[in-house]
């Protein structure tokens, strides 16, 4: 375990004004997104799309790392350079999603548990050789009638902790992502309570597994109202509730936190991050690890055509810049309007 390397990696991941681009969609998820713009989901189209994203001029000014899928980590640019090598040469850290997705949890209707621990140590060794320096494991927590159960929360926290230990043994920084889904009609108050239970359990399990908190990045969801709730908590309330639960549960030893967008609109994800950073007084850097909230506009502009590459890259660059400003607490809605006007 190379703690010095992990320290350097973790610090670089949450460098001031920079965040992560989550480009770790499976082929199935990619197909859903490609279908929305009438692009066939072939391996070559996925490769071309990822190359468009990764070769965006100036991306490294705002993005410190990219989370890749197994297929993508093994792919190359059209001139034969491996994606991991290309990113590293351009000042961006390659990362890798390692979980095997969610499955129904036995005896717990409506709840999921994430799988993928089998032979993970061997895979980690290979991923390190392929250039990955950080990894990600996602758990999902659903809010509903009588759920989440304590059993579901603990099972997912235990898996996240075991995964983290395996990562660190391979000198790879683990991102732990216990996503509290916004599906449902729950209130922001209920969301805050669930977030607190989930994070308290997670950090207890990390401690039990001997994981070094100085080399862990938390990928957190924001405390928002359920998407079907008629009262949607305003931006400032989301920021206050999210910060409160994080201060109560997340050790100051962590090098930083990144947020997922979790189905929010592009601008809401940016506005919430900005509001939290404007509030100040957090013991860790707060930045982004967005997928759709960075990629959606680029995908819509690209539509599978190399002729649209410049427009798509411009769209990605803009969203990355907006979120970089938010990570510094310097974003303003006017910046979005100025871009539209331009």
Read off the pLDDT of each residue in 267-284 and give the average, rounded to a whole number: 95
> Residue 200: pLDDT above 90?
yes
Distance CA(301)–CA(234), nearest Å, equals 30
* Tokens representing residue 121 in the block: 């140590």
Distance CA(141)–CA(199), nearest Å, equals 11
Read off the pLDDT of each residue in 251-261 and give the average, rounded to a whole number: 97
Q: Which residue has the tokens 């660059």?
A: 317
Q: What per-residue confidence (pLDDT) applies to 338? A: 65
320 or 341: whose pLDDT is higher?
Answer: 320
Is-catalytic flag, 177? yes
pLDDT in tens, 157-186: 999 999 999 999 999 999 999 999 999 999
pLDDT in tens, 14-33: 999 999 999 999 988 999 99
Residue among 25, 51, 177, 205 flagged as catalytic: 177
Residue among 192, 205, 219, 240 flagged as catalytic: 219
Q: What per-residue confidence (pLDDT) applies to 339? A: 55
Q: What per-residue confidence (pLDDT) applies to 262? A: 85
Distance CA(170)–CA(15), nearest Å, equals 23
Distance CA(111)–CA(221), nearest Å, equals 17
> Residue 325: pLDDT above 70?
yes
Measure Cα distances from 189 to 51, 200, 275, 303 in Å: 41, 17, 18, 40
3-state secondary structure the chain: CCHHHHHHHHHHHCCCCCEEEEECCCHHHHHHHHHCCCCCCCHHHHHHHHHHHHCCCCHHHCEEEEEECHHHHCCECCCCCEHHHHHHHCCCEEEEECCCCEEECCCCCCCEEECCCCCHHHHHHHHHHCCCCEEEEEEEECCECCECCHHHHHHHHHHHHHHHHHHHHCCCEEEEEEEECCCCCCCHHHHHHHHHHHHHHHHHHHHHCCCCHHHCEEEECCCCCCCCCCCCCCHHHHHHHHHHHHHHHCCCCCCEEEECCCCCCHHHHHHHHHHHHHHCCCCCCEEEEECHHHHHHHHHHHCCCHHHHHHHHHHHHHHHHHHHHHHCCCCCHHHHHHHHHC
Q: Strand 173-180 to strand 217-220: parallel, antiparallel, or no bridges (unpaired)?
A: parallel
> Residue 252: pLDDT above 50?
yes
pLDDT in tens, 35-85: 999 999 999 999 999 999 999 999 999 999 999 999 999 999 999 999 999
Q: What per-residue confidence (pLDDT) applies to 340? A: 44
Q: What per-residue confidence (pLDDT) applies to 336? A: 87
Walk me through the domains of the chain, giving residue ranges and CATH numbers. 3-341 (3.20.20.70)
Q: What per-residue confidence (pLDDT) applies to 342? A: 44
> Are the beta carbons of 173 and 132 closer than 8 angstroms?
no
Q: Which residue has the tokens 């996240």?
A: 160
pTM attached to this predicted model = 0.95
Mean pLDDT for the chain overall: 96
Q: Identify the band that residue 280 occupies on the pLDDT scale cut at 50, 70 and 90.
A: confident
Q: What per-residue confidence (pLDDT) applies to 42? A: 95
> Residue 110: pLDDT above 80?
yes
């Amino acid at each position: 375990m190379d703690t010095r390397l992990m320290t350097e990696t973790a610090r670089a991941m949450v460098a001031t004004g920079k965040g992560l681009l989550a480009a770790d969609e499976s082929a199935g998820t990619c197909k859903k997104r490609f279908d929305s713009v009438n692009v066939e989901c072939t391996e070559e189209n996925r490769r071309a799309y990822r190359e468009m994203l990764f070769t965006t001029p100036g991306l490294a000014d705002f993005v410190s790392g990219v989370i890749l899928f197994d297929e993508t980590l093994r792919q190359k640019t059209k001139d034969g350079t491996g994606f991991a090598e290309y990113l590293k040469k351009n000042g961006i850290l390659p990362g890798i999603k390692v979980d095997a997705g969610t499955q129904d949890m036995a005896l717990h209707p409506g709840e999921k548990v994430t799988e993928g621990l089998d032979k993970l140590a061997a895979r980690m060794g290979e991923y390190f050789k392929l250039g990955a320096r950080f990894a990600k494991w996602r758990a999902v927590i659903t809010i509903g009638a009588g759920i989440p159960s304590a059993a579901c929360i603990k099972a997912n926290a235990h898996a996240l902790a075991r995964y983290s230990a395996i990562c660190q043994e391979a000198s790879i920084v683990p991102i732990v992502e216990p996503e509290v889904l916004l599906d449902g009609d729950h209130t922001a108050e209920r969301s805050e309570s669930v977030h607190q239970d989930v994070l308290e359990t997670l950090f207890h399990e990390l401690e039990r597994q001997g994981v070094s908190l100085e080399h862990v990045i938390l990928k957190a969801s924001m405390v928002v109202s359920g998407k079907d709730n008629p009262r949607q908590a305003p931006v400032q309330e989301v920021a206050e509730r999210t910060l409160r639960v994080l201060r109560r549960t997340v050790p100051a030893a962590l090098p930083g936190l990144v947020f997922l967008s979790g189905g929010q609109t592009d601008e809401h994800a940016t506005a919430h991050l900005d509001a939290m950073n404007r509030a100040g007084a957090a013991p860790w850097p707060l930045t982004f690890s967005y997928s759709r909230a960075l990629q959606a506009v680029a995908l819509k502009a690209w539509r599978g055509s190399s002729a649209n590459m410049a427009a798509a890259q411009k769209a990605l660059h803009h969203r990355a810049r907006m979120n970089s400003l938010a990570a510094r607490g310097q974003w303003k809605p006017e910046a979005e309007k100025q871009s539209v006007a331009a």
